[in-house]
């Protein structure tokens, strides 16, 4: 499906959902210094032909303007003429969409997700053992144990993408960039939001529990 073939109401719905999520996360202080990015896929999913709306680069996400978002294709290039610039991290969104077929990806930088990414960097994953909120990921095992992958953080974003491809665990709807932030995804905006909120709870829990054990 080409971008022109995607119904206007689908595009408008994606922008409205992104606006609502951006406002919510900004109110929580999750977009310090213009950090973070959000995206929602529009149109039918196909690995070789899809488009998504994403936050524009360098914008103050505590504000709401007509230039908050733009549409890009599967390679992260604008789907229509625009003066807006997609985030450099758009390539990571592209890869996650290709690998998972998800409908939305939300990425935030917080103190706790940065701390645990460094705390567990040597093991390349953040362990979570038996915490109730693991169920937010549709993992219902009694006393479930999960490991949230951590990947290297490079200034050169294309260097990150192969590691995302290699380390992504389709059972876990998220991947952490070391000392950077979490990418969480879901079938739609509601699910991606739920997953992100669950990750942030678990990161704070894990960090505080590590302190208590020492």
Annotation: binding site: 107, 109
Q: Which residues pair with 56 in a beta bridge?
A: 86
Is residue 70 within 8 A of residue 84, CB to CB? The reply is yes
Is residue 180 within 8 A of residue 153, CB to CB? The reply is yes
Annotated binding site for Zn(2+): 107, 109
Order of all β-strands in the sheet with 181-186: 69-73, 51-55, 37-42, 104-108, 181-186, 174-177, 145-151, 125-129
Q: Which H or E run includes 164?
A: helix 161-167
Residue 41 backbone phi and psi in degrees, to 5: -75, 145
């Amino acid at each position: 499906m080409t971008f022109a073939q995607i119904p206007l109401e689908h595009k408008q719905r994606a922008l409205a959902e992104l606006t609502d999520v951006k406002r919510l996360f900004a109110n929580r202080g999750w977009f310090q210094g213009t950090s973070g990015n959000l995206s929602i896929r529009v149109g039918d999913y196909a690995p070789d032909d899809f488009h998504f709306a994403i936050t524009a680069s360098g914008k103050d996400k505590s504000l709401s303007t007509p230039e908050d978002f733009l549409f890009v294709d599967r390679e992260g290039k604008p789907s229509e003429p625009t003066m807006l610039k997609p985030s450099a991290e758009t390539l990571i969104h592209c890869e996650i969409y290709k690998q998972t077929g998800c409908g939305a990806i939300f990425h935030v930088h917080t103190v706790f997700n940065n701390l645990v990414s460094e705390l567990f960097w040597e093991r390349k994953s953040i362990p979570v053992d038996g915490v109730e909120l693991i169920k937010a990921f549709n993992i219902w095992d009694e006393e479930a144990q999960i490991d949230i992958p951590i990947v290297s953080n490079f200034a050169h974003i294309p260097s990150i993408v192969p590691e995302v491809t290699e380390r992504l665990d389709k059972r876990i709807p998220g991947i952490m960039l070391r000392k950077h932030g979490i990418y969480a995804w879901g079938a739609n905006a509601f699910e991606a939001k739920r997953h992100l909120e669950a990750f942030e709870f678990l990161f704070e829990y894990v960090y505080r529990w590590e302190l208590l054990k020492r």
